[in-house]
Chain A
Amino acid sequence: MTAADDFVEFATAAAPRLRRTAYLMCGNWHTAEDLAQTTLTKMFVSWRRVRRNDAVFAYASRTLVNTYIATTRARRSSEVITDVLPEQAAVSDSLETRMLVTQALGTLAPRSRAVVVLRYFGDMSVEEVAASLGCSTGTVKSQCARALEKMRSTLSGNQEDGRQADGHQGQRRHG
């Protein structure tokens, strides 16, 4: 099997998961697809080196996070985070869940959001998340705790409290 076949096999298997991970980070399927595609492009370029790693998907996650954080830096103001839920006449449970979760994630700073997604959606260990983000395990733990707290308050409707307890400063510090 050639490296190119190898890549296509990996990418085809990894693409849906990468895109879902990206979606939870950016909250938009279009951007998620772009992020996943950019990640796969980067991996293709250095595939011959990458494929020798055992943890190729972890590498992909790391690349995805870096790509995502780079885009949020590039256009920090493009995403408008609102505390107010849009009025919905009749929505399905899944749509509502999606909206609430992405909204709750949206209140987090990009790096915290990446931590939460990798840790709880990607099922990565604290160590793996730390390696992916290039920070200490302590940072991952504290960001997880803070993010969880913040999401809790958002999801429980205490938006005011959520703003007060905004973990942004703390997250920036670790950024």
Chain B
Amino acid sequence: MGARLMGTRDRGVMDENELRALLGRAVAHEPGLGPLVDNAVRAGTRIRRRRRVLGVVGCVAVVAVVGGMVPVLGHALAARPEPTTAHTVRPSPSGLGPSLAPNRSVTSTRRHVSRTAPPAVVAPSTSAAGATILAVDSYGSIFTVNSATHTTGKPVGISGTVVTSVVSPDGKTMYVLVDTNEILPISTKTHRIGRAIPVPSATAIWRMTVSPSGRVIYLSDYPDHQVLVADVARRTVVTAIPTGLSPDQIAFSPSGTTGYVADTNAASVTVFSTVTQRVLRTIKVGQDPVAIVTSPSGTVYTVNELSGTITPIDASTSAAGRAIRAGDRPQAIVFTPSGSMAYVASYWSSSVTPIDLASGRALRAIRTASRPSALVITPSGSTVYVLDDDPASVTPIDTGTNTAEPSVRVLDGASEVGQIVVTPDGSTVVVSIGSQLVPISTATNQAGPPIRLSAPCCEQMMVP
């Protein structure tokens, strides 16, 4: 027994100061500290991302672009028709055209009056008749916005809270996963709700991905490390594909016969057959593939957050190629239309890494205003728009010179950003931040007045 403690024992007393000293000595020989700050940032980032997905922060995504329709936010908004219904049209001082703003004085006629929320999102598109846009808010209401008339259709009220949604590849059906454990198929044309597809646990599903054929919906069951396969025609979950840890994004080979699941908490991609729904193999990639995207040239790329690399996967052989360095904590990737170049948002490096895919070589990183969390490329491939988190801004990058243009501050004071989308005609980039949307003209790189959503969150916006 140590002398001091013996003394304590002998006296049978211990005052507060002695206890202080004892506690201090008790931690004197501690083991080395693990990477807990790093781990905390990583886990916290993931939680925040998931919250965004679930709509706590609010998120917007254009999920489908259908041939034949040319969605034009700027053009559609510039039409300036008379406001007729639940939305008023305000002229925009920036010349971007009027924005659609929810008019709080108009009461919705939808069923769930207690949860009334104006359409959370608008993403007008145009066609001969003036195309409609679907906006799903987190309360499970689906609204339509006709871009030619700027009128909203009668909202389609659904019960339950939206977990996530997706549009089929043909653009005809929107699938909305609600927390009452069912997927509601909704016609993007008539907005009629079809018969629900029951699922075991909606909140475990992080993402829905429709197969290229449109016959199957893949449900990424993040906590249970599997992908559920829902048969659209039979309206049932038919099987589960076991994956690596925490499946999230899914990409497909150009032929559509092979699916690639990014196992975000592992260092692997689970390859499965979209015909048999069986696992074909597991490919080793970098640690934490947080994104997986098929390039226009048909190669599948994973973005490996922890390794700071991207890994190409040959879709014909399902073999991984040599990883390419892509900055610190890369998050997202876009490709030029030719498939020759990739741009990777490297969050921790506060830069975008251009990568020459032919040589597999990263070019000199392009500094962004702050931490890039997402990016989009215009359809022409001329400009990459990078959404910077913390504080929120958008940095345009000229892909001809690979240089950043002056970044656009969006919503001064806002820090946490949601998503960024570009209209298929490339005229406008839209950013979601909290409960607001900020349109940015790609011609002038000027932000228009924000579209304030009265719903706390928009789940998704879709161009059917």
Contacts and interface: CB of A to CB of B under 8 A. Distances in A.
A120 B37 contact: no
A77 interface: no
Contacts of B416: 48
A166 to B, nearest CB: 18
Contact of A19 (B33, B48, B390): B33
B225 interface: no
Q: Identify the interface centre among B4, B34, B416: most chain A CB within 10 Å of its CB.
A: B34
A123 B25 CA distance: 15
A80 interface: no
Contacts of B26: 23-24, 97-98, 101-102
Contacts of B113: none
B22 A97 contact: yes
B415 interface: yes
B9 A157 contact: yes
Contacts of A40: 36-37, 40, 44
Contacts of B30: 16, 19-20, 23, 29
Contacts of B22: 97, 101
Q: Identify the interface centre among A45, A48, A123: most chain B CB within 10 Å of its CB.
A: A45
Contacts of A172: none
A121 B20 contact: yes
A33 B40 CA distance: 11
Sorting the interface of chain B by its residue count into under 10, 10 to 19, 20 to 34 or 35 or more gives: 35 or more
Contacts of B51: 45
A3 B13 CA distance: 48
B12 A156 contact: yes
A155 to B, nearest CB: 6
Interface in A1-44: 2-4, 7-8, 11-12, 15-16, 19-20, 23-24, 29, 33, 36-37, 40-44
Contacts of B276: none
Contacts of A2: 370-371, 390-391
Contacts, number: 127
B19 A151 contact: yes
Contacts of A82: none
Nearest to B36: A37
Q: Identify the interface centre among A23, A97, A100: most chain B CB within 10 Å of its CB.
A: A97
A23 B19 CA distance: 16
B27 A8 contact: no
A24 B19 CA distance: 12
Nearest to B35: A37
Contacts of B4: 93, 97
A55 to B, nearest CB: 19
B2 interface: yes
A44 B41 contact: yes
A158 B13 CA distance: 12
B68 interface: no
A95 interface: yes
A23 B258 CA distance: 49
Interface residues of A, number: 46
B363 interface: no
B29 A155 contact: no
Contacts of B13: 152, 156
Given A19-B30, A94-B25, A94-B28, A155 B5 contact: yes
Interface in B1-56: 1-5, 8-9, 11-14, 16, 19-20, 22-31, 33-34, 36-37, 39-41, 43-45, 47-48, 51
Contacts of A48: 415-416
A11 B2 contact: no
A107 to B, nearest CB: 14
A54 B50 CA distance: 28
B142 to A, nearest CB: 30
Contact of B5 (A96, A102, A123, A158): A96
Contacts of A15: 33, 36-37
A7 B391 contact: no
Contact of B27 (A7, A20, A37): A20
B19 A37 contact: no
A45 B22 CA distance: 35
A157 to B, nearest CB: 6
A121 B17 CA distance: 10
Contacts of A109: none
A36 B29 contact: no
A138 B39 CA distance: 38
Contacts of B47: 41, 45
Contacts of B37: 8, 11-12, 15, 40
Contacts of A8: 37, 41
A11 B40 CA distance: 9
Given A116-B19, A148-B16, A41 B25 contact: no
A4 B415 CA distance: 11
B40 A97 contact: no
B14 A152 contact: yes
Contact of A24 (B2, B8, B27): B27
A85 B451 CA distance: 67
Nearest to B391: A2
A95 B27 CA distance: 10
Interface of B: 1-5, 8-9, 11-14, 16, 19-20, 22-31, 33-34, 36-37, 39-41, 43-45, 47-48, 51, 370-371, 390-391, 415-416
Interface of A: 2-4, 7-8, 11-12, 15-16, 19-20, 23-24, 29, 33, 36-37, 40-45, 47-48, 93-98, 100-102, 116-117, 120-121, 123, 148, 151-152, 155-158
Q: 7 shortest A-B CB distances, which residue pairs?
A: A44-B44, A40-B40, A101-B26, A93-B2, A37-B36, A121-B23, A20-B27
6 contacts: A11-B40, A37-B39, A40-B44, A93-B4, A117-B23, A152-B13
